[in-house]
Structure formats: structure tokens, C-alpha cells
Amino acid sequence: MLKFPIFMDYHSTTPVDPRVLETMLPYFSEKFGNAASKNHAFGWDAEEAVAKAREQIAHLISCNPKEIVFTSGATESDNLALKGVAGMYREKGNHIITAVTEHKAILDTAKRLEKEGFEITYLPVDSEGLINLETLKAAITDQTLLISIMLANNEIGVIQPIAEIGRIAKERRVLFHCDATQGVGKIPVNVDEMGIDLMSFSAHKIYGPKGVGGLYVRRKKPRVRLLAMMDGGGHERGMRSGTLNVPGIVGLGEACAIAEREMAEEEQRLMKMRNELQNHIMNELDEVYINGHPEKRLAQNLNISFAYVEGESLMMGLKEIALSSGSACTTATLEPSYVLRALGVGSDLAHSSLRFGLGRFTTDAEIDYVGKRVVEAVTRLREMSPLYEMAKEGIDLKSVQWTEH
């Protein structure tokens, strides 16, 4: 039995897993203590719960529990990593390297630092969304403090060569921050093997609650120090003051523990479903293009451009399915997806893209239904599309004199 609307936008957020919710509930009411209260049982209970969560997270990413700094989410973690390093090591250099397809939490933070006098290099990506390691090496100068590259992209799911980047960073004695928001809990992460010094992650992308996340901060080889953005009681090794969100942290911990146990099986299951959806669409429609690397991408992700059909009108025709589009009309800026543009996808095809995000509660019946409805909606809109008609008449759309507006 299908339940509507169908949620296929798991990159944006995820529902809290009922098992996660259950572990959180006591910490709202009977175990409501402040984890910083050292003198009574309420505080001890809370502290113990936080310590357990730290261990669950540390186990998932192979670090020491003391290296986890809790934050309000990945945006805060990204801000803290970049601004914290920039502020702490200002005397050593003024250069940071990142990439054009990073999340806005990185790009906007980098822009802020640029205004404050830092130099930022935005690495390009190839047509499949990957950065070039030689270009990265060439960009490092004696002023470079930090490299910040994401694990998996939120739009196209492309997975960057993190371990290789980590090796380059080590060789050149530059710190390496990884925004792993879309990757942690979905693919294996080992901060030592990957040479990661700082890493952002978020609970609500992995079936935990919204409003909580963390930043991994390496304590040894090298010991990374950060200039705090929040002043207060010196919580979290002085890097992030503020009373800990105990129920949220408990949820994040449990979400990580579940992810660790079920990740491998879940990845296989979702990859099979994703491939089925992809094949269904590709077999029944011509001129559809997959955005991003065909293999080096998350099993949960499918980003497709449907030529001659505009993304927003396509979503309008699929209103019982929660999806996301790279179409400009779905954003406040009226610009099509900067990620797709960075891959060299033309504006026309960027406007025509849909992002499918599969997740833990996606069913085979949903995959079937969504595939069928997408084919239907695209076919109907192509009948309505003057571009499709022109293309079928053999007109080269690139040669047409369009009236820009």
C-alpha cells in the first residue's frame, strides 16, 4: 500500500528513526539534567548519556570520543571549522582551498573570510563532479592553512577521493576539513585512514533529530586548535560553549550506532532500488542525462536532467512525490543549480533536473510508482514543449537566436 505524499528527498532531511526517538524521550523529562552539573545525579545521568553518544559517534568514524565537539548542526560545524582555523592560525597563513561544488555553508563562510582578508581558492570539478588532485597540489602555497572538501555532494551524491586528499594535506602540512554531512552513516568513514583533521556531520541526515550535529577535531598528530565562535562556559574543550542539547545528542549517538550496524546492508538495498528507478526512466525516455559520476556516488542519490522539460513544472506534475530540482524557479535567486553548472551542465539542462533521494524507509512499491509517474509527467510535458518539437524537427537548438529576457 502506497502512502502519499511519497518522500523521495532524503538528502534534504530524514525522519527520526523510531528507535532513535525512543532513546531520546527520557532525556526530555525525567532525565532532564544539565550535562555540566557535576554535583548531583541529574547532571551525572545527562553526562553519562552524552559520554555514551560520544562513544557511538567515535566508533562510527574511528576516532577518540574526546575529539567530538557537539554543535547545532553541520552548518555550524562548517562555520566553526573554517572560521576557527582561520582565526587561530592567522599568523601562519591566509590561504584556504575549497571547491566550487561545496555546500553553501562552506562557500558562504569562505566568502566571509575573503572579506576579512583571506585568500580562497575554489577548485573546479570535472564533468563528473570530481576535483583534480594535481590541481589541488598545485594550489597549495606556503600560506595555505586549510583544505576543505566535502565527502559526498548533496545534489549529485558524488564522492570525492578523501583519502588521497588527506594524504596530500599531510605531506604539505596543511589541515584538512571534510564536510561529511551527506556521507557519514551512509558510507564507511575512518578519520585516520582518510587523513581528516576536522569533519562536520549532522544528525537529521541520518535519521536523528534536527538541530544537533558535530565537528570532529583531531587531538593528536596534529593537535588542531580552533578559535571559538561562541563564548560562554567553555564547554566542549572551549571550542563551543553552551549547554549541551542532551536529548539531541543522545539521538545523534543512537543514529550513528544504528547506521554503523545497518549501513552495509542498507547501501546494497538502496543501490538496487536506485538502479531500478534509473533503469526504468532511462529505458522509457530518450534524452535523459545522469548528473555526476556514474559510480562514485551515493547509492541513495539519483540526479537526472530531462531535456526539453523544465524542472519546476515537472515537480508540479509530480506533486504527490516530494522531490527537489536544480531548476532556478525553485530557488530564491532564479539561478539554476550552481553545482550542475560547475559540472559544465548547460543552464537548459540544469533547469531540467530532478534530484531523487532514497532512504531507509523507501519501498519497492514507491520506486515502481515514482518511475512510472516520472515517465508519464515527462512525456506529457514534452508534448507541450516547443523545444522538444523543434528538436524532433531536426532543428539544432543551439543555433537558434533566442530572445533573452
Partner 1 sequence: MAYSDKVIDHYNNPRNMGSLDKKDKKVGTGVVGAPECGDVMKLQLKISGGVIEDARFKTFGCGSAIASSSLATEWVKGKTLDEAFQIKNTEIVNELNLPPVKIHCSVLAEDAIKAAISDYKKKNETE
Where along the sequence are the contacts to partner 1 (CB under 8 A)?
308-310, 312-313, 316-317, 327-330, 334, 336, 346-348, 351, 383-389, 397, 402-405
As measured in angstroms, the least distance from the Cβ of 303 to partner 1 is 17
| Helices marked H in 116-202 | 133-139, 162-171
Which secondary structure element, helix H or strand E, spans residue 71, and what is its range?
strand 68-71
As measured in angstroms, the least distance from the Cβ of 287 to partner 1 is 13
Nearer to partner 1, 260 or 287 (CB): 287
Buried b (16+ CB within 10 A) or exposed e, 65-94: eebbbbbbbbbbbbbbbbbbbbebbeeebb
As measured in angstroms, the least distance from the Cβ of 310 to partner 1 is 5
Neighbours of 275 (CB within 10 A): 13
Return the C-alpha torsion angle 198, 109, 69, 156, nearest 10. -60
Decide if 158 contacts 293 (C-beta within 8 A).
yes
Give the Å distances, CA to CA, from 50 to 36, 65, 108, 236, 247.
10, 10, 31, 11, 9
Catalytic residue among 63, 178, 256, 329: 329
329 tagged catalytic: yes
Nearer to partner 1, 1 or 334 (CB): 334
Bridge partner residues of 120 (DSSP): 96
CA–CA dist 141, 158 (Å, integer) = 27
Decide if 165 contacts 199 (C-beta within 8 A).
no
Rg (CA), the chain: 22
Nearer to partner 1, 9 or 348 (CB): 348
CA–CA dist 326, 342 (Å, integer) = 12
Q: DSSP E strands: which ranges in 92-242?
A: 95-99, 119-123, 144-148, 175-179, 198-202, 213-217
Nearer to partner 1, 158 or 309 (CB): 309
As measured in angstroms, the least distance from the Cβ of 308 to partner 1 is 6
As measured in angstroms, the least distance from the Cβ of 382 to partner 1 is 9
List all residues 6 or more positions away from 160 whose beta carbon is below 8 Å from its beta carbon.
Answer: 99, 130, 131, 149, 150, 151, 152
Nearer to partner 1, 51 or 329 (CB): 329
Specify the residue for cell string 590561504: 95
Nearer to partner 1, 5 or 232 (CB): 5
What are the contacts of 114-117 at 24+ separation with CB within 8 A? 116/86
Decide if 155 contacts 323 (C-beta within 8 A).
no
As measured in angstroms, the least distance from the Cβ of 193 to partner 1 is 43
Nearer to partner 1, 185 or 336 (CB): 336
As measured in angstroms, the least distance from the Cβ of 47 to partner 1 is 46
Active-site amino acid positions: 329
